Amino acid sequence: MISVIVGTAGHIDHGKTAVVRALTGVDADRLPEEKRRGITIDLGFAELELGEVRLGFVDVPGHERFVKNMLAGAHGIDLVALVIAADEGVMPQTREHFDICRLLEISHGLIIITKTDTVDAELLQLVRAEAEELVAGSFLAGAPIVATSARTGEGLQELKETLRELALCVPARASEAVARLPVDRAFTMRGFGAVVTGTLVAGSINEGDEMELLPTGERVRVRGLQVHGQAVRAAFAGQRTAVNLGGIEASSIERGMTLAPVARLRPTQIMDARLDVLASAPRPVRSRSRVRVHLGAAEVLARVRVLEEGGEIEPGGRGYVQLRLESAVAAVPGERFILRSYSPARTIAGGRVLDAFAAKHRGREAFAARARLRALTESDRAAQLALFVETSGSVGQRRADLAARTGWRDEVLNEALSEAAGRKLIVEAEGIFVARAAFDALAESALASVASFHLREPLARGLLRETLREKDFPRAAPETFRAVLAALADAGQIVADKEIVRAAGHSLELSPADAALKESLERVYRDAALEAPTFEEALERAGVARTSREHGRKLLQLLLDAGALTRVAPELFFHRDALAQLLAQLREYAAAHEPERLIDVPAFKDLAGISRKYAIPLLEYLDRERITRRAGDKRLIL
């Protein structure tokens, strides 16, 4: 069964509801006030099966005061039925509703001329000509025009056949997006609880699914589903759907919310978009204009930031804008919206979301954003994904960020990520995606910093990793930092040794004077054996001036790096020969004290010939090295 949503459009009292009732037998005016006043105030719904086609009608109000209600139902329309009364012809709301359909890029439809029983053939022909003139050059140019009378039944069979033929030509909805149901009604049904309705514009919903309502993020469970009044286990894109929700009260749900899978979409308040301004708009759309944005079933106030030269888009023109919303909505790229002036409320433009999570553009950078938005308009999915990643710079984006930013299903997102990586547009860094240009810039900056450090500190082994990270990766994630270092190491450009990073070609070339000082410093520690001097004492014995203390510490570090010295305590260093001799003595002692192999502090002092000042740090070092293990007030020699 093919499901198609048919939306009515047209001026008040032109017979939209009467046509729907004549076709389906359902009075779409459900509110007592609508029946009392004889006009449609809010959205109405009905269904009709025509062979293999199931039509879901969204009947909209025609009064200018209720255009916002009309817009709440227009977002999911596949096929528009533009209704024009034969006794009145084209009227103001006929034109506004038609403009809205064009701006929403609805591509299929027909014209229904109603109340034919009230006019003669000549006037009917005039109305037909007027309708053709209205739609000339639009998606309805050449569309079927069916003359009907709901009172006499004239033309109704032809209308059904035409609707069926048109419905068969409506293309299937795109399948790359996750489920999204903009809520246009919420109510409580006795015995069931909260129920929401809307047109499922993407994806599918299954009974038992865990979902959330955006922008609030309220978690709900799908307790039951109905499509066109029939209970179903699953609903699919393009179907009018009623969802019985558990875990929430209907009073907490508002028109304009969006039902979506948990943690897949996120609310936003700043969007970049391409805007088409109606030729009939009374004035240009200018920066800082306050407007009404109709997106999905939501109406929110916003400020416009025009990204074109001059800061405005003339009537009939097209340009790029940023919308800064006063309240959050759920939006995805490609979604259409309508712009109405703040006061008086009048349709002035429509557009398509390009980036639902845009950074705020300020000053001259606003104009630079146009190139990126133009690229988003013209790119394939992989390139679009890369552009989204690029906007985050060195921060990068996690997979969940990209899922929310695109609204794509997992399979589509994975394919786009793989394609973008294969084309070397992005780099994955332990689950974080960074644009190739940003990744390369970080790598170049890191290399430059390491090279600069070697020039400044020729005696240093290398730059501390943490210092490099703080200097060149202040906004990047730790995963990105590690990935950049790994890439540079794999390319043979750096060597990362624990906490030190050095250039791969870096080697220490000491001057004759420094080489002599280094040898003297090592001799001091070798001669001191296990009664090692303090660092200051060692410098003095080696002949290093106190004013060159920092230079001496660099020479000491070279000895540590070479393994000639070992740091036993923060400022206590021993020569490797002395420690090797100590280990040999311990092994002899252990062999002579089998099977206990225990030694206490006094025995250790006697064995090494040292005072407690050296004995305790040495024993603690031996414990850390797993040569001994503390056993009460003694040590077990392992």
| Residues facing residue 133 across a β-bridge | none
376-390, 481-495, 555-569, range with the lowest pLDDT: 555-569
Which residues 6+ apart lie within 8 Å of 213 measured at CB? 183, 220, 248, 253, 257, 258, 259
Give yes or no for a contact between 386 and 435, defined as CB atoms under 8 angstroms apart: yes
Query: Which residue is it, tokens 């919903």?
Result: 205
Q: Using CA atoms, how far apart are residues 65 and 7, in angstroms rounded to an integer?
A: 18
Does 483 score more than 70 pLDDT? yes
- Residue 521: name the closest of 546, 542, 552 by CA: 542
Which of the 8 DSSP states describes residue 230? Answer: E
Cα 580 to Cα 399: distance, rounded to the nearest angstrom: 53
Rg (CA), the chain: 38
Which pLDDT value is given to residue 638?
Answer: 85
Question: Model-level pTM greater than 0.85?
Answer: no
Amino acid at 630: R
**Residue 508 banded pLDDT, cuts 50, 70, 90:** low
Least confident among 64-68, 246-250, 334-338: 64-68
Burial class (CB in 10 A: 0-12, 13-18, 19+), 251: exposed
Percent pLDDT > 70 in the chain is 95
d(CA 440, CA 339): 41
Report the distance separating Cα 503 and Cα 522, nearest Å. Answer: 26
**What is residue 66's predicted lDDT score, i.e. its pLDDT?**
54
The DSSP line for 572-594 is EEEEHHHHHHHHHHHHHHHHHTT
Residue 222's closest CA among 204, 237, 239, 240? Answer: 204
Query: What is the CB neighbour count within 10 angstroms for residue 343?
Result: 8
* Cα–Cα distance measured from residue 132 to residue 217, given in angstroms and rounded to the nearest whole number: 46
Q: Is the pLDDT of residue 41 over 90?
A: no
CB-based contact 234:226 (threshold 8 Å)? no
Residue 506, pLDDT above cutoff 90: no
The two tokens of residue 40 are 């449609």
Contact between residue 101 and residue 82 where contact means Cβ atoms under 8 Å apart: yes
Count of all residues that appear for the chain in the document: 638
**Closest Cα partner for 108 from 159, 64, 168?**
168
Residue 461, pLDDT score: 78
Q: Is pLDDT at 217 greater than 60 in this prediction? A: yes
Check residue 32 and give its pLDDT.
62
pLDDT in tens, 529-572: 999 998 888 888 888 776 677 778 888 888 887 789 999 988 89
Specify the pLDDT at position 633. Answer: 87
Task: Please give the domain boundaries of the chain with CATH numbers for all domains.
Answer: 2-169 (3.40.50.300), 181-261 (2.40.30.10), 267-372 (2.40.30.10), 379-509 (1.10.10.10), 510-638 (1.10.10.10)
Least confident range from 184-193, 346-355, 548-557: namely 548-557
Evaluate if residue 289 carries a pLDDT over 80: yes
DSSP bridge partners of 503? 494
193 beta partners? 189
Distance, in Å, from the CA atom of 407 to the CA atom of 403, rounded to the nearest integer, reads 6
Helix (H) or strand (E) holding 137: none
Q: Which pair of structure tokens corresponds to residue 80?
A: 């528009």
Burial of residue 399, with CB atoms counted within 10 A of its CB: 0-12 exposed, 13-18 middle, 19 or more buried: middle
Kindly indicate the confidence band of residue 70, based on its pLDDT and cuts at 50, 70 and 90: low
Average pLDDT value over all residues in the chain? 89
Task: Give bridge partners of residue 500 from the DSSP assignment.
Answer: 464, 497
3-state secondary structure 178-191: CCEEECCEEEEECC
Burial 588-604 (b: 16+ CB within 10 A, else e): ebbeeeeeebbbeeeeb
Residue 36, pLDDT score: 60
Amino acid at site 466: E
- DSSP character for 477? -
Residue 425 and residue 429: Cα distance in Å, rounded?
Answer: 13
Q: Is 195 left (phi over 0), alpha (psi -120 to 50) or beta?
A: beta
Average pLDDT estimate for 591-605: 90
Whole-number Å distance between alpha carbons of 66 and 62: 7
Report the half-sphere exposure of 541 (CA within 13 A, side-chain side). 17
pLDDT of residue 321: 96
Residues 310, 315, 317, 321, CA torsion sign: positive
- Identity (one letter) of the amino acid at 493? Q
Compute how many other C-beta atoms are within 10 angstroms of the C-beta atom of residue 146.
21
What is d(CA 8, CA 11) in angstroms, rounded to the nearest whole number? Answer: 10
Residues 6 or more apart whose CB falls under 8 angstroms from that of 597 comprise: 590, 636, 637
What pLDDT is attached to residue 47?
A: 87
Q: What is the mean pLDDT of residues 202-228?
A: 94
What would the 3-class secondary structure string for 45-80 be?
Answer: EEEEEECCEEEEEEECCCCHHHHHHHHHHHCCCCEE
396, 432 Cβ separation under 8 angstroms: yes
- Rounded to an integer, the average pLDDT of 305-328 is 94
CB distance 382 to 419 below 8 Å? yes
- Backbone φ and ψ for 221, nearest 5 degrees, come out as -125, 140
